[in-house]
Structure 1
Amino acid sequence: MGIVKNIIEIANYLINKTGFSCQIVLMLTIMAVAGKAIAEQTVAPNQVIPVDHIVAVVNEEIITRNELNDVIQNTTRQLQKQRVQLPPSDALEKQLLERLILTRIQLQRAKELGISVSDTELDKTIRNIAKENNLSMGEFYAALQQDGIGLSQFRDEIHNEIIVTRLKEREVSSRINVTEGEIDNFLRTQETSSIGNDEYHVAHILVQILEQMDATQVEAKHQRAEAALRKLQEGVEFAQVSAEFSDAPNAMQGGDLGWRPIMQMGPTFAEMLVTMQPGEVTPLIQSPVGFHILKLLGRRPQETPVVIINQTHARHILIKISELISEDDAHRMILQIKDRIDKGANFAETAKAYSEDASASSEGDLGWLSPGDTVREFEQAMDALLPGQISTPVRTQFGWHLIQVIERRSQDVSEQQQRQTARKAIHARKAEMVMQEWLQQLRDQVYVEYRSEDTQR
């Protein structure tokens, strides 16, 4: 298992957990294996070690020539493993420096907001990554070592990746609102549209334009996009052109957006894609964020499934742990309540009198619960009960619970599933626009200085 495969799978894993679309995949490659080249170097006794230089300053933090060289070397390896012809060295260096700067800006912003990752969360994420790759932890560490990556370095990379992901969840998701009316319109359009609901595998090149650009600057971007399109028409590989020209975060991954429902692509893209055959490339498409080129890599049918799930109607009693009520006190209280119910007290009335959850006013009634609606410990205890049964005390992050199952049913939630799918598609479509705007605003608020190495010698 090569490091490139690891990186892509890690990025995809984090995308799936956050719900962001593939177009805004975090540029893990830029942070990945930074320092690998240094770790691989063995210094001979008489070897001359080059003096490092500052290539950029981001606020008060520096980016050095060695840092940039590490990223260039690792990205070059990645592209070579993908059998992608390398873009001109100056173009590659410029692209990668900009991405290093953008990553540094995001980490600084996350620090300002107090976004952090605990060691427990980090360990869990790494275990999940190994599991996604069907590897034991020992096998996973061995694979990292084979690729020349130390565990400490890898943990730092994943730590930063989670931080940036959480930053985007906080800063971007908070700006996106999907209304019930938008979902209704989406579903109506889907029913009447000739576009269908198939999934499309698409690669994407973006030449970005910014709101503050004047007409001359926009035209220069247009010419750059035209140059990219000409290269594609001349037979140059899409991944190579993406690496050289694209401003999208996944430019070094060939611009691959992965599989996505056609309705998630937006009407302009969708109308073009449905008329194309795999391997074909669109003409230039202009949007408010820039000039786009799409390549259709594949198409597959996507049927609307019938979704039947088992639901549980339950009620509960919660005793919270706080500064005033210790763990032992809360446990003792829930045992006393359990004893009272075992001796004949009505669960609903007891919940109304003693529960510290908001559901107390409804006699502890939680309504119909679907899988995943509650935390894992609660759900596991609830699933083990028969209708009418009451659990032993259950500890969760919220405190100590008693759970009573009232009844169970199988429920067709196909309509709810369709609406949830529509909500995700609308959110992803909006997120791509909001993400570009947010990144540019972030970039504009930060002091960035490019240093000429000639002046440092």
Structure 2
Amino acid sequence: MKRIILLAALLGGLLSALPLHAAKVVELNRIVAVVNDEAITNLELEKRLQSILVQLRQNGTALPPMEILRRQVLERLIIERLQLALAADRGVRVDDETLNEVITRIAAQNQLSPQQFRAALERDGGDFAEFREEVRHEIIMSNLRAREVESRIEVTPQEVDDFLARQAAGGGLDTEYHLGHILIAVPEGASPEQVQTARAKAQEVLEQLRAGADFRQMAITHSAGQQALQGGDLGWRKGGQLPTLFADSVLRLAPGEVSEPLRSSSGFHIIKLIDKRGEQREYVTQTHARHILIRSTALVADTEARARLERLRERILQGEDFAELARANSEDPGSGAKGGDLGWANPGTFVGPFEQAMNKLQPGEISEPFRSQFGWHIVQVIERRQRDSTEELKRARAHDAIRQRKIEEETQDWLRRLRDEAYVEYKD
């Protein structure tokens, strides 16, 4: 059950709430904050606080004073409420079919059926209807960020080249770093006095850390970062996935050390290098195959396309040349003229049904006819080989790392602007 509770907490699920005496309902449900024209109630805040407490205790994290944790959770709710309101204005919605698919995947990750997952959640005190809505909200916010931020991110080949050159000089793209992060936020358009106050607070936090304060507890207490309630844990990241601001500092840190405060438009960042590990060469199994494609159309039914391929397969097995038959019969304009030859391909190159059929074959074998989205095929594996794809994969990962870095930086700025432009009134 631990995995279920952890997963639900990460999704913002409400799996655990303290029993509420009926006489306290009115008091607990008072308004604690107004966000634009919407209210956040104390009941919402307490439920979320309890689920966060479950997560932190299971992770063994030292807890900050409850009022500080409560404030952090309230800020998280405010940011979520702003995103959901914007999503509603933008028409970003999630239908029940999509929601059910996601919950089915969550259940499968916990090795449970959807029915078993629901029963387990309710045994732990959770409300399944509330859990569904929390998952729906997470999907909506993710889709909104994809639309408002991620869709605008571009990565050029020159950026990839420059990135790889810097990484080669700084210790390698595939060296992995386990990082902790604390952000002392500065509002957009901050005055010099506000900046100086934030700088002084960051320096004070740094001094406490170097004096032995628990990093996770300090992050929960002071950080405005998105991972604050996870103790500021950014997890393992390859060198190529380090935010630009952090990269140089991280390379100079030894495991266990913390950086000086690093200034960005969002505020002052303190980074801890928890651990690091080295790179390895990577090999993939490439397949050299050829195929014959017959498309089913209004004039050519599935049964006829399949029957034609069965006859062609039998002729090949009787000794006729695969390439000649492919040139004469295949309806794939790319490979047909080349005797059906698809060249050397990495895993994931072809669509699922084609790759699955191909992967079942030994070199020299020819598949039975099978269907993909393009039509009916027979495929023959000519040979396989192991290839060192380290450099190729590095380039692909560099592209992904640059994109992810840009997304994280832009998302942080976008959320800060969203928060700064909102009307928020605290009632507590």
**TM (normalized to structure 1)?**
0.76
Which residue identity lines up with residue 352 of structure 2 in the other structure?
Answer: R
Aligned with residue 392 of structure 2, among 416, 430, 445? 416
Which residue identity lines up with residue 326 of structure 2 in the other structure?
Answer: F
Distance in 1, matches of 2:424 and 2:335, equals 55
Q: 1:103 Cα shift? A: 1.8
Aligned with residue 95 of structure 1, among 38, 48, 72? 72
Which residue identity lines up with residue 402 of structure 2 in the other structure?
Answer: I
Aligned with residue 377 of structure 2, among 386, 391, 402? 402
Q: 1:298 Cα shift? A: 1.7
Q: Does 1:33 align with 2:21?
A: no
Distance in 1, matches of 2:160 and 2:243, equals 14
Q: Does 1:432 align with 2:403?
A: no
Q: Does 1:56 align with 2:36?
A: no
Which residue identity lines up with residue 325 of structure 2 in the other structure?
Answer: N
Q: Does 1:350 align with 2:329?
A: yes
Does the Cα contact within 8 Å between 1:389 and 1:404 map onto a contact in 2? yes
Show the counterpart of 1:14: none
Structure 1 residues 401, 215: CA separation in 2 closer, same or farther (over 3 Å shift)? farther
Show the counterpart of 2:306: 335
Residues 397-452 of structure 1: per-residue CA shift (max 9 Å, x gap): x364324236333133222112122223322322221111232344466x544252
Residues 141-196 of structure 1: per-residue CA shift (max 9 Å, x gap): 66545532244444443343344334434443322222222222222233333578
Q: What is the aligned residue count?
A: 414
Show the counterpart of 2:320: none
In structure 2, runs of 5+ residues without a counterpart are: 316-323
Distance in 1, matches of 2:348 and 2:75, equals 40
Distance in 2, matches of 1:56 and 1:348, equals 71
Structure 1 residues 57, 369: CA separation in 2 closer, same or farther (over 3 Å shift)? farther
Q: Does 1:373 align with 2:349?
A: yes
Structure 1 residues 443, 138: CA separation in 2 closer, same or farther (over 3 Å shift)? same
Structure 1 residues 382, 80: CA separation in 2 closer, same or farther (over 3 Å shift)? closer
Aligned with residue 279 of structure 2, among 300, 303, 306? 303
Show the counterpart of 2:318: none
Does the Cα contact within 8 Å between 1:84 and 1:237 map onto a contact in 2? no
Which residue identity lines up with residue 116 of structure 1 in the other structure?
Answer: V
Distance in 2, matches of 1:176 and 1:318, equals 39
Q: Does 1:251 align with 2:222?
A: no
Which residue identity lines up with residue 405 of structure 2 in the other structure?
Answer: R
Residues 54-88 of structure 1: per-residue CA shift (max 9 Å, x gap): 33344554322210121223323433444544334
Residues 85-137 of structure 1: per-residue CA shift (max 9 Å, x gap): 43344433332122112223333444534453625522441244214xxx787
Which residue identity lines up with residue 432 of structure 1 in the other structure?
Answer: E
Show the counterpart of 1:22: none
In structure 2, the residue corresponding to 1:164 is in which secondary structure? helix
Instruction: State the identity %.
Output: 33
Does the Cα contact within 8 Å between 1:382 and 1:391 map onto a contact in 2? no
Map 1:242-321 → 2, pairs under 5 A: 242-266=219-243, 269-300=246-277, 302-315=278-291, 317=293, 319=295
Q: 1:347 Cα shift? A: 3.4
Which residue identity lines up with residue 380 of structure 2 in the other structure?
Answer: V
Distance in 2, matches of 1:61 and 1:360, equals 62
Distance in 2, matches of 1:312 and 1:102, equals 51
Structure 1 residues 7, 450: CA separation in 2 closer, same or farther (over 3 Å shift)? farther
Which residue identity lines up with residue 176 of structure 1 in the other structure?
Answer: I
Does the Cα contact within 8 Å between 2:259 and 2:272 map onto a contact in 1? yes
Does the Cα contact within 8 Å between 2:313 and 2:366 map onto a contact in 1? no
Q: 1:381 Cα shift? A: 1.7
In structure 1, runs of 5+ residues without a counterpart are: 12-27
Structure 1 residues 254, 351: CA separation in 2 closer, same or farther (over 3 Å shift)? same
Structure 1 residues 349, 115: CA separation in 2 closer, same or farther (over 3 Å shift)? farther
Which residue identity lines up with residue 417 of structure 1 in the other structure?
Answer: L
In structure 2, the residue corresponding to 1:283 is in which secondary structure? coil
Structure 1 residues 384, 276: CA separation in 2 closer, same or farther (over 3 Å shift)? closer
Residues 205-254 of structure 1: per-residue CA shift (max 9 Å, x gap): 01233443232332232233233224324433211211121111110111
In structure 2, the residue corresponding to 1:31 is in which secondary structure? coil
